[in-house]
Amino acid sequence: MSPVRSDITEAGVAILTIANPPVNALGAAVRGGLLEQLTQAQANPAVTAIVIAAEGKVFVAGADISEFGKPITPPSLPDVLTAIERSPKPVVAAINGMALGGGLELALACHARIVPPGAKLGLPEIKLGIIPGAGGTQRLPRLIGAAPAFAMMASGEPVTADKALANGLADEVVDSDLLAAASAHALRLAEAGAWRLSGTAEGKVDEADRAAFEIAAADAIKKAPRMPNVKALALSVRTGLDKGLTEGLATERAAFLNLVKDPTSKALRHLFFAEREAARVPGIGKEVKARPVGKAAVIGAGTMGGGIAMCFAQAGIPVTIIEVKEEALAAGLARIRANYETSVKRGSLSQAAMDRHLGFVTGAVGMEAAADADIIVEAAFEDMGVKAEIFGALDRIAKPGAILATNTSYLDVNAIADTTSRPQDVVGLHFFSPANVMRLLEIVRGAKTAPDVLVTSLDLARKIGKLPVVVGVCYGFVGNRILAKRSQAAERILLAGALPHEVDAAVTDFGFRMGPFAMLDLAGLDIGWRSRKVTGVKAPVGDGLCEQGYFGQKTGRGFYRYPDGARKGERDPDTEALITRLSEERGIVRRSFSNEEIIARLMYPMVNEGAKILEEGIAARSSDIDVVWVNGYNWPNFTGGPMHWAEGVGLSRIVEALETFAAETGDESLQPAPLLRRLAEGSGSFADKDAA
């Protein structure tokens, strides 16, 4: 059955309705259906005007991204849109919800756009490493001006109905009977016998707008040197302005088709689907229903506990923060208020929203206050004894069926679960700091965690705006376990001859916002030092710095020095002397390292650990590891995450290098994981393994 149907109203309006759930993406069948129905409506003497509408909550979410990179089945989207624009009968878009990417381009090719108050209109292609490829870079500037259009396309952020009405993108905002309003609008256009084509040259572009566009384009290109699509976007808009619609469209389409093949776009599309895939837990189907969560409690009012409580409050879930002492509770509540006040001052939050959020937060001393919570998240000190005591108490206090979650970053969730008589209700919810800002949430599935506890956790994650990834129990789970490998490699390369600023420069050049040493200085070196004392792991440089009282930024000294409270570190001769001395003591002849070698030595062991994590079933897919590292550890998204990146590098090259690293250092943990070896030897890729 065609995903596009046509109904003709008594007044002579053909309503073409797209029904391609879940988001009405413009796949081949929709494009074909639209063109066919349009042609029929145009030929039908009973039809005076045409409305394009859609079923469901989303109007059209764009081109079908899963078709990218495959041969295009005609008709192409540009061809369908040209047929709409040139229609001898007016065509009006009835945009029932979101119109994104090709969805908005479809609406732009229509002769008017009618939207309800909640509609969102945007061209998010930039976020997928491409540019609008069906006329967006041409029709939008002509409709709303080049500078506003460029701003929308370069940010990828949608605009609201009000904004769209104000800038001319929407013709009417109607809050009831969208189809009737769109039909009436279409009939009025037909009666007038004239309608504006958004693709015609008459438009809003004047000299001032043109100048503003050029400034914005130069700025955007400068800010995103790694994104070839930003340059292509500016060029497409400019070509349309200088040489007219036909050349503009041709330039846009050629750039679009090229960018689709570019590794950057492939990486970003990989992450788009990976993020959605991560929410699926193999073996747990739709029949498993979530438990209701109406009330939450958080144990611990520290920075982490406060951040987690803010997540609940912002989602409108009443939350009680629990502390042992009144003073700690008051300090925690004051910190939450202060965080919101800062956002209000910055203008990113309204006073009303702050009041609303705070209205959902209460504080209490004593664990009894958790008795009526549906979910309790423990965010106390990272110590097994402390956790055991808390979970023992919660076991007595919490109501039957309540989910008992721990925010531990490293500890054994199974051991924590076994301190209770209800291990099936225990799960790890590993938030990242600051918890109210960072999107990633590792959901740690214990050996006995019940399926409906996992489903509830996934459901809750979405409600509080998090990106969940389900992981298994091991030291550090997926994210921190891989981080430990990078830290180890970073220490090792210092002793071998590199200096902190050289390592950090290689890593930021690779695309991270911060290098590992700047990061450690920011977080505080004492954290790792304390945990190494427990685990027995050695980090000679880190330990040496801590023994001197250099704990990073907070003490003004660390891998770098921070004179007068500076936030950006500068090279520290004392630290560098310490590093050199430690190398000498070990008889290491220091040598220099190229950026490429630094990246190989830091990142290949991470990929190797990722492969071990996959083999052990700690992560269900390699793409889950990518999602964790891109969203929790700032791995550059344009490379697709460590595992996707590794395939681009070549798995056999990585295996070979790891063998060398293992031989040089005598560290057997650097030997390639069996899975990595198998794949490198030609038995497929991480992506194939995921698909299987």
- Which residue numbers are catalytic? 105, 125
How far apart, in whole angstroms, are the C-alpha atoms of residue 651 and residue 596?
16
Q: Which stretch binds ligand 3HC (CB under 6 A): 36-44, 58-66, 226-234, 484-492?
A: 58-66
At its nearest, how many Å lie between ligand 3HC and the CB of residue 57?
A: 8
Question: If binding is defined by CB under 6 A, does position 23 make contact with ligand 3HC?
Answer: yes
Q: From the centroid of its chain, how far is CA 126?
A: 14
- CA distance readout (Å), 42 to 15, 45, 82, 440: 12, 8, 14, 50
* Given 22, 71, 88, 549, the residue binding ligand 3HC (CB under 6 A): 22
Q: Which stretch binds ligand 3HC (CB under 6 A): 127-135, 194-202, 499-507, 649-657?
A: 127-135
Question: If binding is defined by CB under 6 A, does position 255 make contact with ligand 3HC?
Answer: no
378-414 b/e (C-beta count within 10 Å ≥ 16 → b): bbbebeeeebbebbebbbebbeeebbbbbbbbbbbbb
At its nearest, how many Å lie between ligand 3HC and the CB of residue 163?
A: 17
Q: Are 437 and 464 in contact (CB under 8 A)?
A: no
**Which residue spans within 304-389 are E strands per DSSP?**
319-323, 361-365, 375-378
The pair of structure tokens assigned to 325 is 């002492």
Q: Are 108 and 136 in contact (CB under 8 A)?
A: yes
* Four-residue CA torsion sign, 423, 424, 426, 432: positive
Region of 92 (left: φ > 0; alpha: ψ -120 to 50; beta: rest) is beta
At its nearest, how many Å lie between ligand 3HC and the CB of residue 249?
A: 12
How far apart, in whole angstroms, are the C-alpha atoms of residue 425 and residue 402?
7
Question: If binding is defined by CB under 6 A, does position 64 make contact with ligand 3HC?
Answer: yes
Question: If binding is defined by CB under 6 A, does position 669 make contact with ligand 3HC?
Answer: no
For residue 428, give the H/E element and its range: strand 426-431
Question: If binding is defined by CB under 6 A, does position 134 make contact with ligand 3HC?
Answer: yes
* Given 101, 302, 423, 605, the residue binding ligand 3HC (CB under 6 A): 101
* Given 41, 93, 128, 398, the residue binding ligand 3HC (CB under 6 A): 128
Question: If binding is defined by CB under 6 A, does position 125 make contact with ligand 3HC?
Answer: yes
At its nearest, how many Å lie between ligand 3HC and the CB of residue 198?
A: 15
* Given 58, 373, 377, 394, the residue binding ligand 3HC (CB under 6 A): 58
Question: If binding is defined by CB under 6 A, does position 624 make contact with ligand 3HC?
Answer: no
Q: Which residue is nearest to ligand 3HC (CB)?
A: 101
Q: From the centroid of its chain, how far is CA 470?
A: 16
Question: If binding is defined by CB under 6 A, does position 124 make contact with ligand 3HC?
Answer: yes
Neighbouring CB atoms inside 10 A of 96's CB total 24
Question: If binding is defined by CB under 6 A, does position 533 make contact with ligand 3HC?
Answer: no
At its nearest, how many Å lie between ligand 3HC and the CB of residue 98?
A: 6
* Given 102, 203, 248, 300, the residue binding ligand 3HC (CB under 6 A): 102
Question: If binding is defined by CB under 6 A, does position 108 make contact with ligand 3HC?
Answer: no
How far apart, in whole angstroms, are the C-alpha atoms of residue 385 and residue 86?
73
| Complex with ligand 3HC: residue 85 or 491, whichever CB lies closer | 85
Interaction pattern, residues 69-98, with ligand 3HC; x per rule: CB under 6 A: --------x--------------------x
Question: If binding is defined by CB under 6 A, does position 558 make contact with ligand 3HC?
Answer: no
At its nearest, how many Å lie between ligand 3HC and the CB of residue 204?
A: 21
How far apart, in whole angstroms, are the C-alpha atoms of residue 433 and residue 440?
10
Q: From the centroid of its chain, how far is CA 442?
A: 14
Q: Are 561 and 621 in contact (CB under 8 A)?
A: no
* Given 276, 289, 325, 530, the residue binding ligand 3HC (CB under 6 A): 276
Q: Please tell me the count of residues contacting ligand 3HC according to CB under 6 A.
A: 25
For residue 238, give the H/E element and its range: helix 228-243
* Given 16, 100, 144, 494, the residue binding ligand 3HC (CB under 6 A): 100
DSSP 93-120: EE--SEEETHHHHHHHHSSEEEE-TT-E
Task: Tell me the pairing of strands 560-561 and 570-571.
Answer: antiparallel
At its nearest, how many Å lie between ligand 3HC and the CB of residue 461?
A: 12
How far apart, in whole angstroms, are the C-alpha atoms of residue 531 and residue 226?
37
* Given 85, 105, 171, 572, the residue binding ligand 3HC (CB under 6 A): 105
The pair of structure tokens assigned to 545 is 């710095």
Subset of residues 414 to 473 that bind ligand 3HC, contact rule: CB under 6 A: none
How far apart, in whole angstroms, are the C-alpha atoms of residue 117 and residue 446?
45
Question: If binding is defined by CB under 6 A, does position 61 make contact with ligand 3HC?
Answer: yes
| Complex with ligand 3HC: residue 61 or 301, whichever CB lies closer | 61
How far apart, in whole angstroms, are the C-alpha atoms of residue 446 and residue 414?
5
Among 100, 95, 98, 105, CA closest to 173:
95
| Complex with ligand 3HC: residue 65 or 578, whichever CB lies closer | 65
| Complex with ligand 3HC: residue 61 or 179, whichever CB lies closer | 61
**In this structure, what DSSP letter does residue 489 have?**
H
How far apart, in whole angstroms, are the C-alpha atoms of residue 92 and residue 50?
6
| Complex with ligand 3HC: residue 151 or 388, whichever CB lies closer | 151
| Complex with ligand 3HC: residue 268 or 376, whichever CB lies closer | 268
The pair of structure tokens assigned to 531 is 């945990």
At its nearest, how many Å lie between ligand 3HC and the CB of residue 22?
A: 5
How far apart, in whole angstroms, are the C-alpha atoms of residue 48 and residue 41?
9
How far apart, in whole angstroms, are the C-alpha atoms of residue 139 and residue 158?
16
At its nearest, how many Å lie between ligand 3HC and the CB of residue 103?
A: 7
At its nearest, how many Å lie between ligand 3HC and the CB of residue 122?
A: 8
Question: If binding is defined by CB under 6 A, does position 62 make contact with ligand 3HC?
Answer: yes
State which amino acid sits at residue 192.
A
Question: If binding is defined by CB under 6 A, does position 261 make contact with ligand 3HC?
Answer: no
Question: If binding is defined by CB under 6 A, does position 248 make contact with ligand 3HC?
Answer: no
* Given 3, 90, 129, 133, the residue binding ligand 3HC (CB under 6 A): 133
| CB proximity list for 230: less than 8 A, separation 6 or greater | 126, 154, 220, 221, 224
* Given 90, 129, 132, 632, the residue binding ligand 3HC (CB under 6 A): 132
At its nearest, how many Å lie between ligand 3HC and the CB of residue 31?
A: 11
- Residue numbers at the binding site for ligand 3HC (CB under 6 A): 22-23, 25, 58, 61-66, 77, 98, 100-102, 105, 124-125, 128, 132-134, 136, 273, 276
